[in-house]
Amino acid sequence: MTSPSFDDALFDAMESSIRPTEQAESLPPLCYTDAAFYAFEKEAIFAREWLCVGRESWAAAPGDYFTSFIADEPILVARGRDGVLRAMSSVCQHRAMLVAEGSGTTRAFVCPYHHWTYALDGALASAPAMERSCDFRKEDFGLPRFALEIWEGFVFINFDRDAAPLAPRLAGISDILRGYDLAHAEGDRPGQEQRYPWNWKVMFENNNDGYHASKLHQGPLHDFIPSELAEFPDDLPADTAGYYRTNRTLHPDASFNATQRAVLPVFPALSAEERHRMVFANIPPTLSLVMTADSVIYLILRADGPESHRVDQGVLTAPGAAADPAFRQKMAMGMLAAGEIIEQDLHVDALVQVGLRSRHAPRGRYSWQEGAQRLFNTWLVPRYRSAWRRVATGAG
């Protein structure tokens, strides 16, 4: 896993990225562009951390399933006949064909190549014409299983079956999001995924960057949430699995649309104080949340290369919101405004990636309004360092 493009000095230099915000600087540019660093990152981060792959509602009934793909790993999530949701590799254990694509409902997974058949729990049920193969036992060739956990209605998987549970390390995030009752929020499964030609961290940083909001997004669709009203927590535990910022709004029930106010039902459990702010929460390396009084935009980021990633973007609303006869029109109104803001972000993200390839790419200093970037770094850097120590000592 070692590479001539990075060494002990690189990881020592990351110390400056986790200092207090007023002293900190951004990560080294090669962390966003270098193929060898991405290969390292797949083991340091993606092989060990909890990864969001979807919503529990995407596989609500026995036989329902959906697939995903993160850091070169094809993932299959299925609900068994016993009602249990399970996650496993979708790679057939015969010749590596994928046994499932997309989503749907099925009684079993049949590999289209040679018709090996797997039960909903991943056990190999049938392997045609294998009776002459020496010492072949079906029970030895089930689909590899992953750890699975549900948090706030989101499905997380971990390639490390012995990973520490996720929810206890998200207690601080759950507290700040409690009024949204995300486990019961409703929303259709996202449509076509998007693929973007920049590093996943560029997207993650932008999604929780309060500094740019009043500059890049200046205008009637965003002026009600000024950057100077951003606040960053200072009480998250050291082992937290996520981070957030809150941002006060100029009026209650603010939302991203031409009226600047909620047009869908407000989440009923929100307090008066909570209705006067927005929350931006990140659960790295895959889930990003933008929370207004009447809707939650979520992005599931799926790295697939050193300078590319895929995104599943969806919207959640309060239970029963879709019963409004004008729901579709009101959603379209919000999505029109959000789409304009998102397009501005995407343009910037693409050009940031271009800049990061330059020999003049900086390790920039942070504004106080970029406190979330420092929180992201404090999640990343210890994991990078720990993985590098394992590489340097040959510990795996």
Least confidently predicted of 110-119, 133-142, 239-248, 385-394: 385-394
Are 173 and 154 in a shared domain?
Answer: no
Ranges of beta strands (E only) in the chain are 51-55, 64-70, 73-79, 85-89, 103-105, 109-110, 117-118, 124-126, 145-151, 154-158, 194-196, 230-231, 243-248, 277-283, 287-291, 296-305, 308-316
Give the pLDDT of residue 2: 45
Instruction: Give the count of domains, the chain.
Output: 2
Let me know if residue 227 belongs to a domain: yes
Domain of 136, CATH number, reads: 2.102.10.10
Give the pLDDT of residue 1: 41
**52 — pLDDT class (breaks 50, 70, 90):** very high
Let me know if residue 376 belongs to a domain: yes
Let me know if residue 219 belongs to a domain: yes
Give the pLDDT of residue 392: 81
**Spatial CA neighbour of 39 closest among 76, 84, 6:** 6
Domain of 116, in residue numbers:
51-158
pLDDT tens digits, 355-389:
999 999 999 999 999 999 999 999 999 999 999 99
Among residues 158, 191, 208, the one where a domain terminates is 158
Let me know if residue 235 belongs to a domain: yes
Q: Does pTM surpass 0.75?
A: yes
pLDDT tens digits, 20-43:
999 999 999 999 999 999 999 999
Helix (H) or strand (E) holding 359: none
Are 209 and 260 in a shared domain?
Answer: yes
**Residues 47-64, mean pLDDT to the nearest whole number:** 98
Are 188 and 321 in a shared domain?
Answer: yes
How far, CA to CA in Å, does 69 sit from each of 90, 247, 304, 360?
Answer: 10, 33, 8, 34
**Spatial CA neighbour of 321 closest among 329, 311, 313:** 329
Are 310 and 271 in a shared domain?
Answer: yes
pLDDT tens digits, 241-300:
999 999 999 999 999 999 999 999 999 999 999 999 999 999 999 999 999 999 999 999
Is the pLDDT reported for residue 3 higher than 60? no
Is the pLDDT reported for residue 69 higher than 80? yes
Render 43-97 in DSSP notation, one character per residue.
IIIITTS-EEEEEGGGG-STTEEEEEEETTEEEEEEE-TTS-EEEEE-B-TTT--
Give the pLDDT of residue 237: 87
Least confidently predicted of 113-117, 267-271, 391-395: 391-395
Are 246 and 265 in a shared domain?
Answer: yes
**396 — pLDDT class (breaks 50, 70, 90):** low
Are 136 and 173 in a shared domain?
Answer: no
**Residues 175-190, mean pLDDT to the nearest whole number:** 97
Are 201 and 324 in a shared domain?
Answer: yes
Domain of 275, CATH number, reads: 3.90.380.10
Give the pLDDT of residue 186: 98
Are 354 and 309 in a shared domain?
Answer: yes
Average pLDDT, the chain: 95
DSSP category for residue 142? P
- Alpha-carbon Rg for the chain, nearest whole angstrom, is 22
Let me know if residue 366 belongs to a domain: yes
**Spatial CA neighbour of 212 closest among 245, 250, 254:** 245
Is the pLDDT reported for residue 192 higher than 50? yes
